[in-house]
Structure 1
Amino acid sequence: MKFPNILDTMVNWGILGAILAPNMGGWVSAFTMRGQVKRPDGRAWYQTIKKPTWTPPAWVFGPAWTVLYSGMGYASYLVYAECGGFTDDAIVPLALYGGQLILNWTWTPVFFGMHRIGLGLLHMFVLDAAAVACTISFFNVSATSGYLMIPYLAWLSFATCLNYSIWQLNKPVNEKKVNGD
């Protein structure tokens, strides 16, 4: 007689995996920045650039992204479950989800790793469009999954404004003169 594994009856491994996957990608992306070369004064590049007064403190980003990634992951699980797994109906929404996640994870190395604020902003615009497309496709499958993406879109809007402001504040002097600033 085979006894059921108690964990299998208590834990939905699909939901857990869907929630952990985007978080793990975010952690890997953030971890790649841990070894940033610090200046002789001990500060990292991001600490030395000009930022708007409304920039959140650094400690906000970890918890915020954990909540956002978890919501996105659960939304992706709902799409997966509603479509009956990786079926034809799930291909577009889950591909859009995967694509926008990759764009999300690669923004960090562009902005923080390469110190490319302007390229980071362009990257963010593409991410914004991909996230909107993903959200619309999620809504088409399940309203709940679409609504779970709304906080993420709101945060991306905020992050795009922050990236734009940082770009404006840190433009080289010659570039500002050309643009009439």
Structure 2
Amino acid sequence: MNFLASKAQLRASFLRWSLFLVPLIVLLGFLSGRFGSPDTVWFDSLTKPSIFPPTAAFGIVWGILFAMIGFAVALVASAWGAFGRPLALVVFAVHFPITLAWTPVFFGAQNMQGGLIVIGAAIVTLLVVIAAFWRVRRSAGLLLVPYLGWLCFAGALNYMFIVENPDGGLTGDSGAAVEVVL
């Protein structure tokens, strides 16, 4: 039997998905941050690029972006029967761990080049996610545009850290990193 859901049913579905996905996305972002931190001797010793914002800005921006990401995914997840919905959710499930991997690679492993590769992959896969979400719910795709902008800024910032610190933050004659936190 085929039938269309009422507007009230669609809103209720979106609300349920939002109540699950927004906290989940925020929690995953928080947990990713536990695997690396800018509060290390290594990061403090790096020359900061001129475009480096105050450290507190990162937590605020990521908190807002993770909530927006959660709502975007909820819009797609609640679009039962929409063409492309399963593919959009799978593409997001592939993309999001890549984004979450940046903090452990850059801060945890203290690998700026690896971080740049990860963020490049995150940007490319996010473009695919935005296209897939756009086909399901245009508003879901639009909610991800600020996230794309921030990833591009973060990629530029990561690149600038490499330029400003060609030794990777290495010091002394031994070539060993100042501090390695795993």
Q: TM class by shorter-chain length? A: 0.7 to 0.9
Match status 1:158 vs 2:159: no
Q: What secondary structure, in the 3-state scheme, does the structure 1 residue paired with 2:29 have?
A: helix
Counterpart pick for 1:106 among 85, 92, 101 = 101
**Is the contact between residue 83 and residue 141 of structure 1 (CA under 8 Å) also seen in structure 2?**
no
**Is the contact between residue 36 and residue 106 of structure 2 (CA under 8 Å) also seen in structure 1?**
no
Q: Which residue of 2 aligns with 1:19?
A: 22
The residue identity in structure 2 corresponding to 1:12 is L
Q: Which runs of 5+ in 1 are unaligned?
A: 1-8, 174-181
Counterpart pick for 2:54 among 40, 45, 57 = 57
Match status 1:78 vs 2:75: yes
Q: Which runs of 5+ in 2 are unaligned?
A: 1-11, 169-182
Instruction: Count residues with an aligned counterpart.
Output: 156
Q: Which residue of 2 aligns with 1:66?
A: 63
How far apart, in 2, do the equivalents of 1:94 and 1:102 lie?
Answer: 13
Q: What secondary structure, in the 3-state scheme, does the structure 2 residue paired with 1:172 have?
A: coil
Runs of 4+ in 1 over 3 A off after TM superposition: none
Structure showing the higher helix proportion among its residues: 1
The residue identity in structure 2 corresponding to 1:137 is A
Structure 1 residue 88, shift from structure 2 partner: 7.7
What is the TM-score when the length of structure 2 is the normalising length? 0.79
Counting aligned pairs with the same residue, the percent is: 27
Match status 1:30 vs 2:33: yes
**Is the contact between residue 22 and residue 101 of structure 1 (CA under 8 Å) also seen in structure 2?**
no
CA 1:45–1:55: 2 relative to 1, 3 Å = same
The residue identity in structure 2 corresponding to 1:115 is Q
